[in-house]
Structure 1
C-alpha cells in the first residue's frame, strides 16, 4: 500500500474544516481584489484627469455640460469628451513642457520631445518635427482647464478609500477565519494523537522514552500550529496576491508581465533547494529536542539516584552534548536562511527593476513613446507590491520546513498500528480464568512463557511465585491483554478474551501494583478516577473498608487532601491502601495483586493484609508474590521457573512435596530468623 505523504496528511486535516477555510479564502480574494484596484484607480486619475488635459480641445458655442471650460471669453471641451454630432468652432492644443503649460491654436502631436523658445514650441516625433506659436498659461488660466477634473478625482479617491476600508473588513474576516481554522486543525490533531497514544500497544512505550512522546504531542504539534496559523496563511495570501498582481501586469503590458514570470521558477527552485537542506537540518533539530526532553524527564525522575551516586557531572555532560548538537544544527539553519532569504529577494527585486528600466528606457521613453504616465506609475506600483509576497514566502520557508519535519514525526506516531478503544459494556464476569497451552515471547525470539495451563475457579485465590524472570508478571500482562500470546488461548468464563476489545476485557478487572501510582488531584479523585458511577460515599466506604481512614482522618483536608504528582507526600503503605480502595470501589470480578506487599515494612504489612482480606472477598484473586508468608491462605499456588509451571498446589501440599517451593520457603524463613536474631 502506497504511503501517504506528510503534505497530503496535513492537507487532509485542513479539509476537515474546509468550510471555514473556504470562507477565509473568499474573504482573502475579495480583499486582494479591492486592494489591487488602487493602482488602476491611480492610473485613471493620472491619465484621464491629470495628464489627460494635455490633448486637443475644441471650441464650442456655449457651456452645455460640466466638462466645458471657459477661457478668454470662449468655451472649450476636451476632444475625448465631445459628443457625437457636437459642432466644433476650432481647435487648440494644451501641452506641458517642463513644469509649465502652454496653449497653441494649432493642433500638434501630443507625443515626442518638446521644447519652447521665444514663444515657439518644437515637437520632435516619429512623424517629423512640428513648430507652433504658444501662449504660456498662468496658474489661474490652468485652473480653468483642471476645474472639470476636480469632481472625478475626488470621486475616484473617495472610491479608493472606500475600497480600502471594505478590504480591511475582509482582511479581518480572512485573518479571523483562517486562524480559527488553524487552531481547530491543531486542536483536533492533538486530540487525535493523544487518543492514539491510548490505542497503540504497550510495547511501543517500552521502546520509547516518555519525554520523546511528550515532545511529539506538545512541541511538534506546536510547530504544526505555526504551519497552519502563520505559514500556510502567508503562503495562500501571497500566492493570491501574486496571482492578482500578475493579472494586473498582463492587463497593463504583456511583454513586461511575461518577463516578470521568470520570478516563479526561481522561487520554485529556491524552495526545492531550501527543502533539501532545511529538512535534513530540521530532522536533527527536532530529534534532538525530543532527546533533550527525554533526558530532562529521566533526570528529574531519577534525581535522587543521580545525587546519591554523585553522577551530576556525567548527566550534565550528556545533556551538554545534546544541547551542543541542537545549537550546531540551529546555527546551520540560521546560516541557510540568512544567506538567502532577504538577500535573495533583494537580488530579484533589483534585477526586476533593472529589466524594467531597460525595457522602458530603451524602447518606450523617447520620441516614439506610447506609454502613459499612469501606466508607468501603475507598473512601478505593482512591481513593488509583487516582491512583498515573494519576501513573505521566502521568510516563511524556515518555519515551513520545521513544521513539515515536526508533522512527519507526529504522523510517524499516529501511523503506529493501534486498536480502536471499544468501551461498550459487557456482562460482569463470574471470574473463571483459564490458560490453555499458552506460549508467549516479547520479541518473538525467546519465549518467556512456555505451554502454560491454568484453571482458576470463580472466587478462588491463586498465587504465582518464582525467581525474577520466571514469567509471573507476563501472565498478568496477558490476562490484562497488554499483550497477546503467540500460541494458545486465554479464556474468562469460557470465552476467549481475543474476541473482546482490550478495554472490555479489563472492564471487570482491578489491579494493584507493587509501586502504586497516584494521580495529581485529591484522595477521593484517586479512588473514583472521576468515574461518575462511583459516588463520594462509595469511595469513602472503600477507603474505610481497607483501613485507610486511620491516616486520612488525621490529614488537614481529610478525604479532600491534595495529592501531588505520584503521591510523593504519602508513604508507600498509605499509597498502597489508597490503591486498594480504588480497586475495591470499582468492584472488579477479577483482582490482580502485582507484588502489592513487596515494598511494605513488617509493621505496615499487618494493616495491608487486613485490607487484602477485605479486598479479596467474593472475587477471583491472582497474586504475584515474593513474600511467601502473604500467600499461605491461597487456594492454589503456581511455582514458575524459566516460563514453565514446575509445581502447583496449596501451601501445605507444596511443602510436603519438598521441591522448589519448599526451598524458597526455607530460604525466606532462614532470612526471617536472621533478622530476628
Structure 2
C-alpha cells in the first residue's frame, strides 16, 4: 500500500471531524468570494448605473429633480404607468465631468465634449448631440438615490465577512483537532509496534534514529493534515469558486485563464521529482543528528573524563554541515516557486486581459463594464493566493510523504503481536538440548550446549568475558532464538510459547538496573494493576530494602528520577530485586546482580536470597565466585562450551579451571585485606 493511501487510511479515523471542518471551510470560502460580485454590483448598478437612460416620471420615490421635472432611472421606472412619449435624458461621464443629453446615445466609442456638443466616435461611425454640463450639486442629486442601496450592499458584505470568520475559526479548530487525534493514534501505533520488535532489531538501530521517527517524522506528518490538507482544500475550493465567478462574468476570458491548470500540474510533477530526493536526505541527516546527540548525552561522563569534547564536536559538525547542505538544496528548489512562479502566471493573465480589451477596438474582443473589469481583476488577484497556497505547501507535502515513508517503513518491520494467552505457573525445569547460537551469521557464541536445571535448583554460570553466560539468559528469555537445538521448560519447547506468556513467571535482575521516572513503588510494580501496594512493600522487605531505605520517610512514595540518578548503585539494585520478586517468578535470573553492590548491601541481599531461592529455579551469573559456593550446580563456560560442571566442592576437587579462578580471587582478596 502506498504512503499516500496509508496516510489517507489514518485520516479516515477522524473523517467526521475532518468532513465537518472542510464543510465549514467551504462555507467561509464561498462567503468570502461574494466580495467582488458585490463590488461589481455597486460599480455597475449604482456608480456607473446613473449613465443609463432616465425617464420622466410623476412618482417621487428614487426620482431626481432636474430642470423642473422628475426623472427616474429606466430600470426603476414603472413602464406601465410612464408612457413612451415621456422625456428621456442620459448622463455621460467624460473625465471628472458629467453631462446630460436629451436623447439616447450609443454605448461604445470614444467620447469628447466640444463647444456644447457631445461627440462619440468609433471605428464604424460617429454620433453627436447637444449636451449640458452638470454642476457638482446636480451630479450629487443623481447619485443621492444610490447611496442607500450602496450602504445596504456594504453592510451585507460586512455581515458576510463576520459570518465567514466564525466558519474560518471553526474549520481551523476542528481540522487541527482532527490532525492532533490522527497523529496521537499514529504515534501510539508506532510505539506499540516498537514494543513488539525483537531485541535483535535494536542492536543495529541507534535509539536516536528511532526517537526521530516517532517524534520528528510524525510531527512532519501532522503538518500534512493541518497545513497541507487545509491549504490544498482551501485552494481548490477557492479556485473552483473563482473559476465559477469568472465564467459568470465573461466566458471567453474565463476560458483563457484555464491555461493555469496544466502549467500548475506540470510544475507539481517537476517539483516532486526533485523534492522527494532532497527531503529523503534531510530526514536521514536529521535522524543521524538525533542519534549522535542521544549518544553524546548518554556518554557525557566518559566524553568529559577522556577529554573527547573536541572530537565529538567535530563529528557533530560534520553531520550538521551535511544537513545544512541538504537544506540548501531544498531552499534553492523552493526559491523557484512561491511568488516567482505565481507572479509570472498572474502577469501572463493580465497580458491576455489587456490584449482582449485592446481587441475590442478592432472587433476581436468585447467591451467590458467597469464593474466586470474590476471583479475580474480582483478575482485574478485572489486566484494568486490559492496558487501560492498550493505551490508553497508542496514542500510540506513532500516532507510529510517522506516522513510517512520512514514511519511506515518502521511499522512494516516484522514484529510479534503481544499475546494475552495465559499459562499455569511452571515447575521450573529448564533444559538446553544441543543449543548453538550466534548474533552474527556463522559466528557462534554458544556451541552444542546441553544442561538441565531441575525445579528449585540454583545454577551458577561462570567463565571469562565472552564465554556465553549472558547469551544463555538471552535465549532463556527469548530475547533471541537459537539457530540450532532446543530449549524447554517443563518439557515444553519455549518457541511454542508466546514470548510475553513465557516471561510472565520469569524474573531478571541485571548488572546495571534501569529505573524509570516515577516512584519506588511504580518501579517495583511497573504500574501493573494486579500487583498491590502491600505486595510491592513485602517484596522490598524480602530483599532487605526496609533496612537500606530506612532514611526515607515514605519509602514506596520516594521520587525516582530518570535512571534513578539520585539513588546509589546498591539502592537501585535492591529495587530491581524487588521488581523481579514481586511477580513471584518460577525462574529467577541474576545477571551479575551483585557486582556493583557494596559488601554490606551484598550481605543483606544474600541473606534474602537464601529464602527466595526456595521453590524457584535460579540462574546466577557471577564474577565473585564466593557468592555461588552454595549453588546446586556450577557450569564453567569457555568459548561457548561447558568445560566443567558440578558443585563447588566437586569442581574444587578436580582442580580444573574453576579451582584456579577461585584460588586467584581468594589470593586477590587476601592481598587486598593485607594492604588494607
Correspondence for 1:495:
492
- What is the rounded CA distance, in whole Å, between the counterparts of 2:300 and 2:637 in structure 1? 35
Give yes or no for contact 2:629–2:648 (8 Å, CA) kept in 1: yes
Distance 1:105 1:509, change over 3 A: same
Indicate yes or no: 2:360 matched with 1:363: yes
2:473 equivalent in structure 1: 476
Shift of 1:386: 0.7
Matched, 1:88 2:84: yes
What displacement does 1:556 show?
6.0
SS at match of 2:480: coil
Among 37, 50, 67, the alignment partner of 1:72 is 67
Which runs of 5 or more residues in structure 1 are unaligned?
none
CA–CA separation in structure 1 for the residues paired with 2:419 and 2:407: 24
What is the deviation of 1:21? 0.7
Say if 2:10 is the partner of 1:13: yes
Alpha-carbon contact 1:282-1:401 (below 8 Å) kept:
yes
Report the equivalent of 1:315: 312
Q: State the alpha-carbon separation in 2 of the partners of residues 253 and 655 from structure 1.
A: 105
Contact 1:125 1:367 in 2 (8 A): no
Q: Which moved more, 1:84-93 or 1:541-550?
A: 84-93
Matched-pair contact (CA < 8 Å) for 1:113–1:367: no
Whether 1:509 aligns to 2:530 is: no
Query: TM-score by structure 1 length?
Result: 0.92
- Counterpart position of 1:617: 614
- Provide Cα deviations, 1:268-295, integer angstroms capped at 9, x if missing partner: 3333333333333333332222222222
Contact 1:124 1:367 in 2 (8 A): no
3-state secondary structure, aligned to 1:131: strand
Residue 258 of structure 1 is matched in structure 2 by 255
CA deviations over 1:226-268 (Å, ceiling 9, x no partner): 3322233222212221221122112222332232222233333
Q: Distance in 1 between matches of 2:622 and 2:365?
A: 103
Q: Does residue 1:552 correspond to 2:549, yes or no?
A: yes
CA distance in 2, matches of 1:260, 1:130: 36
Deviation string, structure 1 residues 21-45 (Cα, Å, up to 9, x no partner): 1111111111111111111121122
| Structure-1 separation of matches of 2:501 and 2:45 | 80
Q: Relative to structure 2, which stretch is displaced further, 529-538 or 571-580?
A: 529-538
Structure 1 residue 299 corresponds to structure 2 residue 290: no
Q: In structure 2, how many angstroms separate the alpha carbons of the residues matched to 1:303 and 1:367? A: 78
Of 267, 270, 294 in structure 1, the residue corresponding to residue 267 of structure 2 is 270
Q: Aligned partners of 2:129 and 2:145: how far apart in 1?
A: 27
Per-residue deviation, 1:370 = 2.5
Aligned partner of 1:183 in structure 2 is 180
After superposition, the Cα gap between the structure-2 partners of 1:645 and 1:367, relative to the gap in structure 1 and judged at 3 Å, is closer
Q: 1:401 aligns to what? A: 398
In structure 2, the residue matched to 1:390 is 387
Residue 173 (structure 1) aligned with residue 165 (structure 2): no
The alpha-carbon deviation at position 158 of structure 1 amounts to 2.3
> Secondary structure of 2:610's match?
helix
Which of 327, 330, 335 matches 1:333?
A: 330
Following the alignment from structure 1 to structure 2, what is the Cα–Cα distance between the partners of residues 84 and 484?
98
Matched residue, 2:45:
48
Equivalent residue number for residue 646 of structure 2: 649
The CA distance in 1 between the partners of 2:262 and 2:208, in whole Å, is 42
Of 56, 59, 83, the residue aligned with 1:59 is 56
Mapped to 2, the partners of 1:635 and 1:541 lie a distance apart of: 27
**Contact residue 580 and residue 611 of structure 1 kept, 8 A:** no
Q: Give the 5 Å matches for 1:449-598.
A: 449-555=446-552, 558-598=555-595
The structural deviation recorded for 1:670 is 4.4
Deviates more, 1:603-612 or 1:169-178: 603-612
Q: Does 1:111 align with 2:114?
A: no
SS of alignment partner, residue 439 of structure 2: coil
CA distance in 1 between counterparts of 2:486 and 2:353 reads 80
Cα deviation, residue 170, structure 1? 1.0
1:112 and 1:368 in contact (8 A); partners too: no
The alignment covers a number of residue pairs equal to 672
Give deviations 1:323-350, integer Å, cap 9, x for gaps: 2222233333333333543333333333
Q: How far did residue 477 of structure 1 move? A: 1.3
Offset at 1:140?
A: 3.8
CA offsets per residue over residues 357-413 of structure 1, 9 Å max, x none? Answer: 232233369998531111001001001111112223333333333333333222222
Moved more, 31-40 or 480-489: 480-489
Question: Are the counterparts in 2 of residues 457 and 620 from structure 1 also a CA contact under 8 Å?
Answer: yes
State whether residues 113 and 125 of structure 1, in contact with CA within 8 Å, keep that contact through their aligned partners in structure 2: yes
SS of corresponding position for 1:517: coil
Q: What corresponds to 1:419 in structure 2?
A: 416
Name the CA distance, whole Å, in 2 between partners of 1:447 and 1:174: 61
Within 5 Å, give how 1:148-167 maps onto structure 2.
Answer: 148-167=145-164
Q: Which residue of 1 aligns with 2:216?
A: 219
- Per mean C-alpha deviation after superposition, the further-off stretch among 109-118 and 99-108 is 99-108
- C-alpha change, 1:668 and 1:649, in structure 2 (3 Å) is same
What is the rounded CA distance, in whole Å, between the counterparts of 1:619 and 1:649 in structure 2? 19
Cα deviation 1:512-537 (Å, max 9, x = unaligned): 00111222222222222222333333
SS of 1:305 mapped into structure 2: helix
SS in 2 for 1:441: strand
Distance in 2 (alpha carbons) for counterparts of 1:221 and 1:45: 50
Deviation at 1:426, TM superposition (A): 3.4
Residue of 605, 608, 612 corresponding to 1:608:
605
Do the aligned partners of residues 356 and 614 (structure 1) sit closer, same or farther apart at CA in structure 2, a change above 3 Å counting? farther
**Structure 1 residues 642, 575: CA separation in 2 closer, same or farther (over 3 Å shift)?**
same
User: Of 636, 656, 671, which residue of structure 2 is paired with 1:639?
Assistant: 636
* TM superposition shift of 1:602: 4.3
Tell me by how many angstroms 1:70 deviates: 4.3
Stretch of structure 1 that moved more, 382-391 or 327-336: 327-336
Deviating more after overlay: 41-50 vs 598-607: 598-607
Distance 1:362 1:552, change over 3 A: same
Cα root mean square deviation, aligned: 2.6
Q: Any idea what the Cα deviations from partners look like across 1:25-73, whole Å, max 9, x if unmatched?
A: 111111111111111121122112221221233334x32x845544334
Deviations 1:610-651 (A, max 9, x none): 232233232221222233322222222333333333443333
